[in-house]
Amino acid sequence: MTPYFSLVLHAHLPYVLHEEPDRLEERWMYEAVTETYIPLIWGFEKSTSDTRYTLSISPPVLEMLANELFQERYLQYLDRTLELLEKEQVFTEVEEELDVIQFYYNRFKKIKQTFMEWNCNLISAFRYYVQEEKAECITSTATHAFLPYIQTEQGVRAQIVYGLQCFEHHFGFKPDGIWLPECAFTPGLDKILYEEGVRYTFVDEETVRTLEPKPDNIHAPVYSPHGIVLFPRRMDLSKKVWDSNVGYPGDYDYREFYRDVGYDRNHEYILPYIHPDGIRIDTGLKYHRITGKTDAKDYYRRNWALGKVEQHAKDFVRSIRDSFTGGREDGRQVLSLTSFDAELFGHWWFEGPEWIERLQAYSSQENIEWITPAEFVKRHHEELSTHHACFSTWGRNNYGEVWLNESNEWIYRHLHAMETELIKQFAEVDSSDAFNEKVLTQMTREWLLATSSDWAFIMDHETTSEYAASRTKEHIQAFYELNDILKDSSMGDDQIKYIEERFGFMNWLEPMNLSSEHDAYVISNPTYQEKRDGLNILMLSWEFPPMVVGGLSRHVFDLSKALVEQGHQVFVVTCAVDGYPEYEINQGVHVYRVKGSQPNHDDFYHWAGSLNLAMANLGRQLGSQISFDCIHAHDWIVSVAAKGLKHQLNLPLYVTIHATEHGRNNGIHDDMQAAIHHKEWELMYEAEHIIVCSAYMKQELEEVFEVPADKISILPNGVDPLLIPEIGGNEDWKHKYGHPDDFYIFSLGRVVPEKGFQYLIEAASMLRNDYPDIRFIIAGKGPLLEDYRKKVREYQLEDKVYFVGFVTDEERNQFLRQSDALIFPSSYEPFGIVAIEGMAAQTPIIVSDTGGLGDIVQHGKNGLKVFPGNAESIRDQIVALYNDPELGERLVQAASEDVNTKYNWTEIAVKTTEVLSGAVKKPKTVGVK
């Protein structure tokens, strides 16, 4: 089977075309056109459809190439350089140097000729060779923004949509592929790409190495969960080109990049050809070869360099062939794909374009087939498997530290504020008005230009960091000047015109409305201005129905509903759930569901971080419309948003702690647990007052976090009996597990060690012989589900213990109501709401004497207790209940009374209001003895 090879180059520079002339940064573009883009065009002329490769051209490059001002200035640059070369031919007396000068003179004449042949617009050349099937062109996002650090989905979508529109504007068609800036992929990004018509993109090899499930072949393209083909670059091959230690460009016979005639000649002599202010700059005329690790450089010999090009092209072709291990592996076609910055070829590695040409020529000799990613997808899309990819880049350490560190972190608070304000204005302002549309369009351009990843990159590398910082600040300032004009149109058109003309970027752009229906509702809903007699409560919780991971979801829903029934307004900000609205009023509770910038991140800590940013953003929007009285946050997962909003909105923060990392793990044992533990401490420190659901939790906070006793109130969980309705007499489900007259014990919870299900299995083994009619039904999902099922088989308890996995609410209620007993053997259960639900189901309960469970159940009165982690104790209490049906009836009667008094949400909401209104002066304990 013929091996496949794919070459992908990404041409990108930041938008550096200023209205004023002689900007040093504009020369970056002159150098790229001279040394890279035009030589690549020469290569396309010689290539065939059998050896075409993919060139990604970013919108900033496209916009500069198409700009008449750039075209005019570039011609002046070429003429000035040719004039210098003519002067150099007279000046030099060294024959070797004269040979190099003559080479450059001929080359620059050819460059100018090529530029003129394409009417000074090189996009015409690229478009022509695409039509001739000698090249494939795609693009990148609008301004090469680092997408994982864009705050909102609307912002990410705008970068993608405008990038695709820019390409279509210049090429006449929409590309199927896109280059992600810095190869920065983050979960969820693929959904937006797919919705906008993109079908493939490129990632670093390390991204594929960490896929879930792991692929059999790390060099094979894969599908993302939303159907985008991810092409990994092959590192072992790529290093032969870009690695500074072993890469081809370091060969001593290649041109020396860092030695330029602009610095070698006398200042007075070179003055007309450097910057008008007399600043020495690179002229592009570099007469020396690398020579070696020495400051003494020999003259460049073009024929020597081209000889090395031949050697290195042959070596690379052999390496491609050697990397091929037998055609198809596991039914999938092998592909070696290498991707590079286009400017490496010609600018940094002067001979790079010639190397590509020779690579194309030698490939056929080794029976290597060049294929573009688009063609690969067309031929082999049915062979690709689907995998989950995490956040990754091709930057330092394959993460985002280049674009977010101590040198550049300051920019993001401004960029995110601009993004939020832009979305707000699209929601608030009538964009159909011509004046408003004009201002919003330019505000969009300023935000786009400010978010270029280049500015953060330059600050990190400390090269021209002053320019990067000033450009960022310039766009920020212009954005807010426009924002003021939007609010006061009398400020006039002159200022708008001045701002527009500074950079001729995307003048054709038509603004897309960045606001969603949710944003419009937040901005315009007049009911938010109303103030009831009750409290306006901003409640933060990552769980809320239908997002149900544990008992937190039900607690927040029942409490918020009870608070609304008592005349308060509750605004819950929670996590987005696919298929559910961003905003709804659920039984009087205002519910907002937000999605972080990394909604599918496989690291929960980082996932929570991005969710907090989205929560804080929405909280600020709500705070601008609603006079909140307080913030009520639930657990550490919302701590960052809670702390930020406390200070930004100047509101008291109240916190309910449902569980702690220390309690879940019986201590803090690794860095991640320590990080979460610290977040918990910060949240409690910032809190005006803390609510816990059990005396056990109060003691834990006092001992582990040293929280003062008078800062904590105990308000237990409640239960709404209507959520566990009485079930009719149909008990057909029992036929599935045994006889209807058997003794059924039900338990439920996440299948994790702290729930104690392993001890149920041991107890069932002890009961098997003497009590063969006792059967256990355990509902829930979790990481240990299959392990416990395996353990059941090992104990030969398949007809006694059933791990049934996920159950619907209806099935759950059937099990709760119609079982003979309920058991919750947790080793750690800080609030024990499941026990209260069991009591409401009017079924006898057995619980571990730990945490909230121990507070709720009084042994022998409203339930039975067992020692945590003790299978014998579980066995003994089951036997006691089995042998004494009257005991069960007494327990149920007492439990029902407690449900109607101690664990009533109405009473709990009243006490919660006392806390949230600041009325608590000493610890409160409700329904706990």
pLDDT attached to residue 929: 35
CB atoms within 10 A of CB 866: 27
Query: For residue 580, what is the DSSP state?
Result: S
What stretches of 429-550 show up as alpha helix (H) in DSSP? 434-450, 453-461, 465-487, 493-502, 517-524
pLDDT attached to residue 863: 93
With beta carbons less than 8 A apart as the criterion, state whether 11 and 61 touch.
Answer: yes
Tokens 């991640």 belong to 672
Q: Per residue in 61-98, pLDDT tens?
A: 999 999 999 999 999 999 999 999 999 999 998 999 99
Tokens 């101690």 belong to 902
Tokens 């300051």 belong to 410
Interatomic CA distance for residues 32 and 39, integer angstroms: 10
Provide the β-strand partners of residue 412: none
Q: Where is pLDDT greater, at 655 or 695?
A: 655
With beta carbons less than 8 A apart as the criterion, state whether 232 and 337 touch.
Answer: yes
Question: CA torsion 509→515→517→519, rounded to 10°?
Answer: -170
pLDDT attached to residue 209: 87
pLDDT for 627 beyond 50: yes
Does the fold of domain 721-903 match that of domain 529-714? yes
Please give the radius of gyration of the chain, using alpha carbons only, rounded to the nearest integer: 34
Q: Identify the band that residue 672 occupies on the pLDDT scale cut at 50, 70 and 90.
A: confident
Considering 116-130, 473-487, 558-572, the range whose residues carry the highest mean pLDDT is 116-130
pLDDT attached to residue 834: 80
Interatomic CA distance for residues 107 and 100, integer angstroms: 10
User: Would you list the domain boundaries of the chain?
Assistant: 4-66+121-244+309-398, 411-520, 529-714, 721-903
- Using alpha carbons, select from 451, 455, 452, 478 the residue that is nearest to residue 465: 455
Token digits for 591? 């519910």
Q: Per residue in 813-829, pLDDT tens?
A: 889 999 999 999 998 77
pLDDT attached to residue 927: 46
pLDDT attached to residue 152: 86
Tokens 């701002």 belong to 499
Provide the β-strand partners of residue 138: 56
pLDDT attached to residue 522: 55
Give the H or E element holding residue 777: strand 774-779
Give the H or E element holding residue 805: strand 801-805
Token digits for 293? 């690790």
Q: Per residue in 122-159, pLDDT tens?
A: 999 999 999 999 999 999 999 999 999 998 889 999 99
Give the H or E element holding residue 129: helix 122-131
Q: What is the average pLDDT across 914-918?
A: 90
Domain with residues 4-66+121-244+309-398, CATH architecture: Alpha-Beta Barrel (3.20)
Token digits for 457? 């990159």
pLDDT for 491 beyond 90: no
pLDDT attached to residue 529: 45
With beta carbons less than 8 A apart as the criterion, state whether 634 and 656 touch.
Answer: yes
Interatomic CA distance for residues 650 and 540, integer angstroms: 16
Q: Where is pLDDT greater, at 256 or 217?
A: 256
Interatomic CA distance for residues 799 and 612, integer angstroms: 46
Question: Beta strand pairing status for 774-779 and 136-140?
Answer: unpaired
DSSP string, 294-355: SS--PBP-HHHHHHHHHHHHHHHHHHHHHH--SSEETTEE-EEEEEEEGGGBTTTBTTHHHH
Q: What is the average pLDDT across 391-418?
A: 90
Q: Identify the band that residue 580 occupies on the pLDDT scale cut at 50, 70 and 90.
A: confident
Q: Where is pLDDT greater, at 837 or 490?
A: 837
Axis crossing angle, helix 434-450 with helix 465-487, rounded to the nearest 10 = 160
pLDDT attached to residue 855: 79
DSSP SS3 for 197:
coil
Token digits for 885? 């049906």
Give the H or E element holding residue 874: helix 871-883
pLDDT for 254 beyond 60: yes
Give the H or E element holding residue 692: strand 689-692
DSSP string, 728-773: -S--GGGGGTS-TTSEEEEEES--SGGG-HHHHHHHHHHHTTT-TT
pLDDT for 888 beyond 50: yes
With beta carbons less than 8 A apart as the criterion, state whether 187 and 172 touch.
Answer: no
DSSP SS3 for 586:
strand
Q: What is the average pLDDT across 168-183?
A: 96
pLDDT attached to residue 167: 98
Q: Identify the band that residue 518 occupies on the pLDDT scale cut at 50, 70 and 90.
A: low
Query: For residue 665, what is the DSSP state?
Result: H
pLDDT attached to residue 207: 87
Interatomic CA distance for residues 645 and 654, integer angstroms: 12
Q: Per residue in 298-313, pLDDT tens?
A: 999 999 999 999 999 9
Q: Identify the band that residue 750 occupies on the pLDDT scale cut at 50, 70 and 90.
A: confident
Share of the chain above pLDDT 90, in %: 63
Q: Where is pLDDT greater, at 29 or 518?
A: 29
Token digits for 630? 């307080």
pLDDT for 525 beyond 60: no
pLDDT attached to residue 428: 83
CA atoms within 13 A on the CB side of 336: 24
Interatomic CA distance for residues 896 and 142, integer angstroms: 63
8-37 as b/e: b if 16+ CB within 10 A:
bbbbbbbbbbeeeeeeebbbbbbbbbbbbb
Q: Identify the band that residue 928 occupies on the pLDDT scale cut at 50, 70 and 90.
A: very low
Token digits for 6? 């794919």
Tokens 């304000």 belong to 421
Q: Using alpha carbons only, give the angle 130, 135, 141 rounded to the nearest 5 degrees.
A: 80
How many helical (H) and strand (E) elements, i.e. helices and strands, does the chain have?
Answer: 35, 25
With beta carbons less than 8 A apart as the criterion, state whether 371 and 1 touch.
Answer: no
Contacts of 593 (CB under 8 A, 6+ apart): 544, 574, 575, 576, 577, 580, 581, 582, 583
CB atoms within 10 A of CB 524: 11
Q: Where is pLDDT greater, at 172 or 624?
A: 172
Token digits for 739? 């006889």
Q: Identify the band that residue 665 occupies on the pLDDT scale cut at 50, 70 and 90.
A: confident
CATH class of 529-714: alpha beta
Helix, strand, coil shares of the chain, percent, nearest 5, are 50, 15, 35
Superfamily of chain region 721-903:
Glycogen Phosphorylase B; (3.40.50.2000)
| For residue 213, cis peptide bond before it (omega within 30 degrees of 0) | yes
Interatomic CA distance for residues 763 and 871, integer angstroms: 5
643-680 as b/e: b if 16+ CB within 10 A:
bbbbeebebbbbbbbbbbbbbbbeebeeeeeeebbebb
DSSP string, 505-518: --TT--------HH
Token digits for 852? 């909230």
Q: Identify the band that residue 395 occupies on the pLDDT scale cut at 50, 70 and 90.
A: confident
Considering 152-156, 454-458, 576-580, the range whose residues carry the highest mean pLDDT is 454-458
pLDDT for 865 beyond 60: yes
pLDDT attached to residue 327: 47
Tokens 């302002």 belong to 429
- Using alpha carbons, select from 712, 659, 632 the residue that is nearest to residue 909: 632
Token digits for 620? 């600020």
DSSP string, 230-279: EEEP-HHHHHHHH-TTTSGGG-TTSBPTT--HHHHS-HHHHGGGS-TTS-
pLDDT attached to residue 1: 60
Provide the β-strand partners of residue 585: 590
pLDDT attached to residue 527: 47
Question: Which fold, 411-520?
Answer: immunoglobulin/albumin-binding domain-like (1.20.1430)
Interatomic CA distance for residues 246 and 632, integer angstroms: 58
Token digits for 265? 């000649």
Interatomic CA distance for residues 429 and 831, integer angstroms: 47
Q: Per residue in 763-809, pLDDT tens?
A: 999 999 999 999 999 999 888 999 999 999 999 999 999 999 988 87
Q: Where is pLDDT greater, at 807 or 476?
A: 476
pLDDT for 725 beyond 80: no
Q: Identify the band that residue 521 occupies on the pLDDT scale cut at 50, 70 and 90.
A: low
pTM higher than 0.75, yes or no?
Answer: no
Token digits for 803? 């791990």
CA atoms within 13 A on the CB side of 459: 21
Give the H or E element holding residue 907: helix 905-916
pLDDT attached to residue 526: 46
Interatomic CA distance for residues 707 and 347, integer angstroms: 62
pLDDT for 433 beyond 90: no
Q: What is the average pLDDT across 910-924?
A: 75
Q: Identify the band that residue 722 occupies on the pLDDT scale cut at 50, 70 and 90.
A: low
pLDDT for 532 beyond 80: no
Tokens 């879930």 belong to 212
pLDDT for 216 beyond 70: yes
- What's the burial of 720, exposed, middle or buried (CB within 10 Å: 0-12/13-18/19+)? middle
Q: What is the average pLDDT across 854-883?
A: 92
Interatomic CA distance for residues 839 and 519, integer angstroms: 43
Average pLDDT score over the chain: 89
